[in-house]
Structure 1
Amino acid sequence: MSLNRGKVLDAALRLADEQGLAALSMRKVAAAVGVEAMSLYNHVSNKGDLLDGLTARVFEEVDVPDPALPWESRVRLLADGLYASFARHPVVVRALAAQDANPRSAGALRVIDALLHALLDAGLSEEATARAYRSLLGMLFGSVLTGTAGGVAAKAERAEPVGAYFRRMATPSELPSLHRVLPALESGDCVQDFEYQLNLLIGGLGSAS
């Protein structure tokens, strides 16, 4: 089976998912596809191109909705699609948040363009569209990173777990609001929180247009 850029990027993405970006190397990717490292340079220019390419693959997993749908539906479909794809590949979210990678492919740009199109159709100016887009990405990154943080590294030991510390300190007399809301904070779900945030964002955009 002949090697191509897509196969190289898919292999790199699998390795990144399994071992993290810090462990990703051209040598490991080459071994995963059964070639010598030098052969990869026929398909990727360098390590940066590799990172950009595997990041683009994550965006390309998202289906672009029918442009005839209402803008609210398109924003929701794209946001949910990006959340699902990012959650499958949180290592890419960490690279995006650190600005170590960018989604450079025609397919990835089509997803971004579709999201911007939906925001413009909400009646926003170009500046407001850019702000809404950045806000949405921030929500996506935050929700995915929070939901997957437990698998990133071994947690440092504490004499008292953080939950126990908060429950001990948040007394009704000293910190009444934290005491009241703490059970809900502890029982929160990242997926539900993202949907709640998305509802707030879409509602706010609708009232602003």
Structure 2
Amino acid sequence: MPRPKRPLITRDAIMRTALRLVDEHGPAALSTNRIAAELGVKGPSLYNHVSGRGEIIDGLRELLTADMDLDAAGLRPWTAACDRMARSYRASFAAHPRVVPLLISQPIQSPLVLAAYERVFAVLREAGWPEDDLMPMVRAMEYLAIGSVLDLATGTPEETERAFDIGLSAFIAGLERQLAERPG
């Protein structure tokens, strides 16, 4: 049987279906066969669009990144940009908390997501942070946001929100102090 002239599925449809499955059924629901069945095709059809589970996880990360306010990187001072970006990151992940375990299961490969990191790095470089501090700073901000998202599932939303606000404020104030105390 020849291939259809127009693809029955797209990479975007695969990712959105995967996101819906994980949102509804948890990380264990992420399988190429299940996604294919949801899309009404056979499992191998997905491999015309994605290389496998790892690429699907990166695609989920891209969907969440697309929901973030990356324009916040244009805010000044850098502390305002970091505050807005951390809140946006948290909001995007909080909308899909069941995806978080998948995202932390593998390193980032997506050029789109890496470009988003670069926007944050550019803000920090401009503020005077040395290159060696950029990734650890961003990762620490992510840990705070991800921890807060995971707490949303077990804690009370108001308390979790307050804890995130306090933690983020303290984190940024601490970084601001560190930068001010740097020689040179």
TM-score by length of 2: 0.83
Relative to structure 1, is the Cα distance of residues 92 and 103 closer, same or farther in structure 2, using a 3 angstrom cutoff? farther
Relative to structure 1, is the Cα distance of residues 92 and 76 closer, same or farther in structure 2, using a 3 angstrom cutoff? same
Give CA-to-partner distance per residue, 1:127-180, whole Å, 9 cap, x none.
Answer: 222221121111111111111147xxxxxxxxxxxxxxxxxxxxxxxxxxxxxx
Contact 2:58 2:103 in 1 (8 A): no
Partners in 2 of 1:187 and 1:57 — Cα distance? 24
Q: Does the residue aligned with 2:62 lie in a helix, a strand or coil?
A: helix
Contact 2:15 2:60 in 1 (8 A): yes
Contact 1:11 1:32 in 2 (8 A): yes
- 1:5 deviation in Å? 0.7
- 1:35 deviation in Å? 1.4
- 1:55 deviation in Å? 2.2
Give CA-to-partner distance per residue, 1:169-202, whole Å, 9 cap, x none.
Answer: xxxxxxxxxxxxxxxxx99611121121111111
Quick one: which amino acid aligns to residue 104 of structure 1? Answer: Q
Contact 1:83 1:140 in 2 (8 A): yes
1:144 paired residue number:
149
1:38-187 correspondence to structure 2 within 5 Å: 38-65=44-71, 67-70=73-76, 71-97=78-104, 100-149=105-154
Give me the identity figure in percent.
33
- 1:80 deviation in Å? 0.9
Relative to structure 1, is the Cα distance of residues 188 and 17 closer, same or farther in structure 2, using a 3 angstrom cutoff? closer
- 1:13 deviation in Å? 0.8
Partners in 2 of 1:42 and 1:135 — Cα distance? 37
Contact 1:9 1:54 in 2 (8 A): yes
Task: Please list every run of 5 or more consecutive structure 1 residues that lacks an aligned counterpart in the other structure.
Answer: 151-185
Residue 197 (str. 1) matches residue 167 (str. 2): yes
Partners in 1 of 2:123 and 2:166 — Cα distance? 19
Contact 1:56 1:107 in 2 (8 A): yes
Match of 1:207 among 174, 177, 180: 177
Which shows bigger deviation, 195-204 or 64-73?
A: 64-73
Partners in 2 of 1:47 and 1:67 — Cα distance? 31
Residue 3 (str. 1) matches residue 9 (str. 2): yes
Contact 1:56 1:105 in 2 (8 A): yes
Give the number of aligned pairs. Answer: 172
Give CA-to-partner distance per residue, 1:27-67, whole Å, 9 cap, x none.
Answer: 11012222111111111111222222212221221121255
Contact 1:63 1:78 in 2 (8 A): yes
Contact 2:73 2:85 in 1 (8 A): no
TM-score by length of 1: 0.74
Relative to structure 1, is the Cα distance of residues 68 and 139 closer, same or farther in structure 2, using a 3 angstrom cutoff? closer
Relative to structure 1, is the Cα distance of residues 187 and 111 closer, same or farther in structure 2, using a 3 angstrom cutoff? closer
Cα RMSD of the aligned pairs, angstroms, is 2.2
Contact 2:72 2:85 in 1 (8 A): no
Contact 1:122 1:206 in 2 (8 A): no
